[in-house]
Structure 1
Amino acid sequence: MRRLLAGNVVVAVLSLAGTAQAEGECGWTSAGWNAPNGAAVFDRGPGPIRDVLDAIGEYRTHSMLSHGPGSTVSHATLRTPTQASWPGVCTKPITPTDIQYGYPGLEQVNQGGIYMYMYGDSSAGAEWTGWQQGNPSHAALIGDSIWYNHPFVSDISRTDPNQYIDRPVRNSYRVNYSLFQYRDLQSAHEIPGNADNNGMVCSTFLAYAHNYAGRGLVTPHTYSHAQIANAANSLYTGVYNQCKQSLGWFTNALLTVACPFYNVCGNAGNQVANCMSANRCDTSDAKHWKAVRDDGNTTATSISPDRIGGWGVHPMNNTIWGPDYSHQLQWNSGGNVYGCWQ
């Protein structure tokens, strides 16, 4: 990303602010967003994470750290997992490492990249966006600390080999996107912190960035057994339905044709639910996630996008962003930037 800023920012002849031209995961934006440096940016979009958060009564599905209007963005995300090879796809439809050690994980992208991430697929783009800054000087410290002080490595984009994407590292390793963070964030929000799969998700990264900049520990929230049981059922059902309808992760995947004698979509639902509930991403045996769902003593402890923003049951003073109200995210700063998000 620092290479992009140094030499690969190209001006496009585009007339309408916020329009984009898609090339897979890369494309142009004709303007940058208005979120200040250090602001937490939120959206609500489709997919399995939304099923989980809806089930526990929360709204926001993704959170990001802005480095300023028209500038770069740090966030943790997961690309669409790949389909396992035949015939294994019949019993374990999703490549296990894609959901246990998710790519790209923690990354820094420019405005073209983040626009394509949010809106590149017009059929499944964000339906709501907003940002919160809180104290401007404290927010700027968070943005600057991650951008200027945090160690990183640069990867070549998997979509466009001429583009580089910076990836902040923790404990000298790239930070993966780990679904298990929704069940147990462990010490991902602490400094130096650690977690299974060297993982973070979007909101545990925001908590980590808050702490890294010396703005204080963001305390996690413990969800009741009833909530996580409902979330597990919703996750399984959501993945199953998307698979049956060839939506989301399963667009153009003719799984039922390739495996006519298997409940492939049920296996996919079990595999994802196992991964999030028990960090067992390599199996579609439903006993793992159902053991968590059916044990009345089980809970989940994590930090969600709503908690970062101080929404709902979450305290406003848990982060510097929380006391602020949600400002409308607009694409109105100068830019015309081409970029990739993976």
Structure 2
Amino acid sequence: MRRLLVGSIAVSALALAGTAHAEGECGSAAAGWNAPNGAVVFDRGPGPIRSVLDAIGEYRTHSMLSHGPGAGVSHATMSNPEQVSWPGVCTKPLNSFQLQYGYPGLEQINQGGIYMYMFGDGSGPEWTGWQQGDPAQAALIGDSIWYNHSYVSDISKHDSGQYLDRPVRNGARVNYSLFQYRDLQSAHQIPGEAVNNGMVCSTFMAYAHSYAGRGSVTPHLYSHEQIANASNSLYTGVYNECKESLGWFTNALLTIACPFYNVCGNAGHQVANCMSTNMCDTADDRYWKSVRDDPNATATSISPDRIGGWGVHPIDNTIWGPDYTHQLQWNSGGNVYGCWQ
């Protein structure tokens, strides 16, 4: 969730979770993390997805499956969609295909890759932690996904000498799908399915829980008031991130190139449409606002807080929930180079 999309307008690709740079996609971790095999690692990072979760009263913004201290990591995430070329950038700023079918989606990477994912932009999350629960059951989850699940290998977009393993579902790579925040469908079940063959970080964790035979993680029903607040927060978050990232270009290049358009507003509408209706190819605000303004509209999903049993979510919904949160430390041996996309 943390590394997700937008503001990719005018001159550079700008992330919802902060500006992403190519040099931050690959690098080395001087040490590995201390999270045991099968533990879920959480963080809280910046960006409009955090605005959405804050709007519904939740705290954690990303969840990852650890395969042991200094070992691999399985998680679902999304990099920046590219901007479209002029004049399309004025009215529909983001590449709609990349917005709907987020890359890399579900992936398995090493400690160098996950370190660059979390800290490669020079800042990093404001909070991290992990939960394990029963060690034997947690290890079953970690081992099942790592050793038993089918996958394909893709070459890193930023280093041709590096490969990313991507678990497949229904015979295809698993995309990152924003619509999972509105309706996870049966992504958390076995065999299960969802539009865009998609997951997000926490619906993948629920899927891994079920895949290992640890039981089905029940989703949570979010009220209309919550999703209305979340919709407004998402639009505002994308708009503000875009404005802040563009800096002086807002009054220079964009003003010249698109003098009669609110480009950052259109980016916000496009992302809000994608999350609320799975319509990622339009910046017409009628679509997401029709959901926001429908008193019968709700959302059904699984969040990082639900995976960890925080807040209103029951602690016995996952094997991780009964555990307290342990401090994430980077103290295992080894210097590992890797990429996260």
TM-score (norm 2): 0.91
Query: Which residue identity is paired with 1:33?
Result: W
Gapped runs of 5+ residues in structure 2? Answer: 1-21
Equivalent residue number for residue 71 of structure 1:
71
The answer to whether the 8 A contact 1:24-1:159 is kept is no
Equivalent-residue separation in structure 2 for 1:108 and 1:65 (angstroms): 9
Residues 146 and 298 of structure 1: CA distance in aligned 2, closer, same or farther (over 3 Å): same
The answer to whether the 8 A contact 2:24-2:117 is kept is no
Superposed displacement of residue 95, structure 1: 0.6
Query: Which residue identity is paired with 2:113?
Result: G
Equivalent-residue separation in structure 2 for 1:188 and 1:58 (angstroms): 21
* Cα shift readout 1:116-153 (whole Å, capped 9, x = no counterpart): 00000014x21100000000000000000000000000
Aligned residue for 2:319, secondary structure, equals coil
1:48 partnered with 2:44: no
Residues 100 and 256 of structure 1: CA distance in aligned 2, closer, same or farther (over 3 Å): farther
Aligned residue for 1:122, secondary structure, equals coil
Superposed displacement of residue 335, structure 1: 1.7
Equivalent-residue separation in structure 2 for 1:194 and 1:254 (angstroms): 43
Equivalent residue number for residue 167 of structure 2:
168
Equivalent residue number for residue 36 of structure 2:
36
Superposed displacement of residue 257, structure 1: 4.6
Identity of matched residues, %: 81
Equivalent-residue separation in structure 2 for 1:247 and 1:54 (angstroms): 24
RMSD (CA atoms): 1.6
Tell me the number of residue pairs that the alignment of Structure 1 and Structure 2 aligns. Answer: 318
Query: Which residue identity is paired with 1:205?
Result: F
Counterparts in 2 of 1:48-127, with a 5 A limit?
A: 48-123=48-123, 125-127=124-126
Equivalent residue number for residue 307 of structure 1:
306
The answer to whether the 8 A contact 2:100-2:278 is kept is yes
Equivalent-residue separation in structure 2 for 1:163 and 1:144 (angstroms): 23
Equivalent-residue separation in structure 1 for 2:32 and 2:292 (angstroms): 43
Equivalent-residue separation in structure 2 for 1:200 and 1:38 (angstroms): 19
Query: Which residue identity is paired with 1:279?
Result: N
Equivalent-residue separation in structure 2 for 1:338 and 1:256 (angstroms): 42
Aligned residue for 1:338, secondary structure, equals strand
Query: Which residue identity is paired with 2:314?
Result: P
Equivalent residue number for residue 331 of structure 2:
332
Equivalent-residue separation in structure 2 for 1:327 and 1:105 (angstroms): 27
Equivalent residue number for residue 194 of structure 1:
193
Aligned residue for 2:245, secondary structure, equals coil
Query: Which residue identity is paired with 1:282?
Result: D
Superposed displacement of residue 261, structure 1: 1.6
Aligned residue for 1:260, secondary structure, equals coil
Equivalent-residue separation in structure 1 for 2:103 and 2:177 (angstroms): 9
1:232 partnered with 2:263: no
* Cα shift readout 1:286-341 (whole Å, capped 9, x = no counterpart): 00000000000000000000000000000000000000000000000012000000
Equivalent-residue separation in structure 1 for 2:168 and 2:332 (angstroms): 30
The answer to whether the 8 A contact 2:141-2:209 is kept is yes
Superposed displacement of residue 258, structure 1: 2.8
Equivalent residue number for residue 145 of structure 1:
144
Counterparts in 2 of 1:281-292, with a 5 A limit?
A: 281-292=280-291
Equivalent residue number for residue 184 of structure 2:
185
Query: Which residue identity is paired with 1:201?
Result: V
Residues 316 and 267 of structure 1: CA distance in aligned 2, closer, same or farther (over 3 Å): same
Equivalent residue number for residue 293 of structure 1:
292
Greater than 2 Å deviation, 4+ residue runs: 253-258
Query: Which residue identity is paired with 1:74?
Result: S
TM-score (norm 1): 0.91
The answer to whether the 8 A contact 1:256-1:264 is kept is no
Gapped runs of 5+ residues in structure 1? Answer: 1-21
Equivalent-residue separation in structure 2 for 1:51 and 1:259 (angstroms): 28
Equivalent-residue separation in structure 1 for 2:156 and 2:79 (angstroms): 12
Equivalent residue number for residue 6 of structure 2:
none
